[in-house]
Each structure stands twice: as C-alpha cells, then as structure tokens.
Homo-oligomer: A and B are copies of this chain.
Amino acid sequence: MPRDLLTIGFDADDTLWHNETIFERVHERFRALLARYHDTATVDRTLFATEMRNLELYGYGVKAFMLSSIETAIALSGGQISAAEIQQVLDLGREMLEHPVELLDGVAETVALLAPRHRVLLITKGDLRDQERKLEKSGLAAHFSAVEIVSEKNEATYAAILRRHAIEPRRFLMAGNSLKSDIQPVLALGGLGAYIPYHLTWAAERVDQVPDAPGRFFTLTSVRELAPLVEGWDG
C-alpha cells in the first residue's frame, strides 16, 4: 500500500499546544481563593466532581470550567464567597481564553513535514470558538485539510468523521495525548494510534489500561517520532 494513503488525525490540546499546564496554574489560584474555607484536596475533589456532574450539560472547554468553578466556590464557601472573588474566577477564565498558544516542541516541524505528503486532519473537542481561536493563533491552520471540533471523542464520533471524509479506518492514524479520547476509539474501529503522553493528564482523561493492538498502537516520547513512524509504516 502506498504510504501516502495514510491519513493522520491530530488531537489539539496537549498534543499540538500546551493546555493542561494553563489549567493547572489556574487550579492553583482557585485553590488559593478557597484556601480559607477548605484544604487543597477538598477543593480539587469538589471541583472535579462538579465538572463531571455538569459535563453532560456544559460539555468541555473553558466556559464550562468557569461555570463549574463558580458553582464550586459558592458551595465550598457555604455561600460566603464575595462577588469580588467570583469576579476573580471570571477573570481567570478570561485569562485562559486570551492565553497565547504555545506549541509543543517539534510540532511545527512535524506538521509541516507531514502535511504535503498526507491528508492531515485536526480533531478536537471543547469550545467551538476557543478551539478555532487557538488554531488561528497557532499558525498551523493552513496545514489541515479539515478541522473537526466535536462535543465528544468516542467511537461514534470517529466513525462519522471517517465516513464523512471517505477514509478507511485501517489507513487512519490518530496522534494524541489521551488514550481515552484519541487512541482507544480509533483502535476499536480498526485504525492506528500514536500515543504521545503529555506530562499532565486531566483526571477525566485518565485510563488504566494500555491498549493491546500490536502493529497498530505506538507510544512515542515526542511528536518528533511521528514522521519517522509514518514514513516507515508500510500498511
């Protein structure tokens, strides 16, 4: 099979650009805001539980995070949190949305190397406008033949995307930092997965099991290993 028939899907947050590090810095400031009411572990646990309870309703992204943070602050302070402190949560969210996009090491070169020889897609979940803005800021937009911003990354989502673009699953490789959202559903459909762990993983994306799919699942230590993998792949 000609190698250039491989289509490559890229996840965005923590695969192309830093994201969880920004959330982590905001978490720290949120913990500080609530420090006089509760310890760090309680704040983290309650915020995460609130986010998970609201996930079906709010979806992913910064706005959902802001709303769950405000709800958590009201609950954990027993209604004592001040309007000025809630304004600080709004300001934290605004900072996140306005944050510069910082590409991970090796991303610009890898995408530029692969895009002329392969069909390259961006497949991400989150706020529609926020992801579009980050892609715009990243300088990478022109490399992608299509951008799919979806509300959830599961088997049904990937199956619909592959159908829409007339891509055979066995000729599709998804590269990303989440086993749950980027790798497992694609392997289940018969595709290939290149897992590139980021040094932080949001609790909602953590899974215990590493996939067992010899010849179709690859763990890379850097995105720089992706182009050699793709070029060496012979279907």
Contacts and interface: CB of A to CB of B under 8 A. Distances in A.
A79 B84 contact: yes
Interface string A57-87: 1110001101100110110010111111011
Interface residues of A, number: 33
Interface stretch (A127-135, A173-181, A182-190, A194-202): A127-135
Contacts of A129: 57-59, 151
Contacts of A162: none
A83 B90 contact: no
Interface string A88-123: 001001100110000000000000000000000000
A14 B188 CA distance: 39
Tell me the number of copies of this protein. Answer: 2
A132 B197 CA distance: 30
A55 B64 CA distance: 16
A71 B90 contact: yes
A150 interface: yes
Nearest to A79: B83
Contacts of A220: none
Nearest to A74: B83
A83 B72 CA distance: 11
Given A57-B94, A67-B93, A151-B128, A81 B79 contact: no
A149 interface: yes
A205 B82 CA distance: 35
A95 to B, nearest CB: 11
Contacts of A151: 128-129, 132
A58 B94 CA distance: 9
Nearest to A125: B128
Name the residue in A57, A77, A80, A81 with the highest tally of chain B Cβ atoms < 10 Å from its Cβ.
A57
Given A149-B128, A151-B129, A70 B86 contact: yes
> Nearest 10 pairs between A and B by C-beta?
A59-B129, A63-B63, A129-B151, A79-B83, A74-B83, A128-B151, A81-B83, A128-B128, A57-B97, A74-B87
Interface of A: 57-59, 63-64, 66-67, 70-71, 73-74, 77, 79-84, 86-87, 90, 93-94, 97-98, 127-130, 132, 149-151
